[in-house]
């Protein structure tokens, strides 16, 4: 399930002119609080990170698709910078 979700999301970014810079699988971890999503309660979740560049229209569509997908409990999208020079290089792991 997770591979398919990541693959579909990355494919959507690439098909609409974006660039996927990398993936990280963080594994299954307990959620901070019990969360109800899609008429179920969840205490654990599988976390993953996808580093990508795309335009705001595609970003809004990705957010809409992930929020409606029953496999997704919660999604967060973080902006790394405003200028191309700020976002071209992928931040190193610390």
Q: How many domains does the chain have?
A: 1
Q: Exposure of 4 by Cβ count < 10 A (0-12 exposed, 13-18 middle, 19+ buried)?
A: exposed
65: in domain: yes
64: in domain: yes
93: in domain: no
pLDDT tens for 21-70 read 888 999 999 999 999 998 999 999 999 999 888 888 999 999 999 999 99
User: Which residues form the domain of 73?
Assistant: 2-88
Is this prediction's pTM over 0.85? Answer: no
The domain that holds 36 is classified in CATH as 3.30.70.60
14: in domain: yes
94: in domain: no
């Amino acid at each position: 399930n997770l591979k398919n979700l990541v693959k579909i999301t990355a494919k959507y970014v690439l098909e609409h002119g974006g660039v996927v810079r990398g993936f990280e699988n963080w594994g299954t971890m307990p959620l901070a609080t019990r969360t109800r999503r899609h008429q179920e309660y969840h205490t654990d979740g599988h976390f993953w990170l996808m580093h990508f560049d795309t335009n705001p229209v595609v970003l809004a569509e990705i957010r809409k698709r992930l929020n409606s997908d029953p496999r997704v409990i919660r999604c967060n999208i973080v902006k790394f910078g405003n200028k191309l020079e700020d976002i071209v290089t992928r931040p190193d792991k610390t």
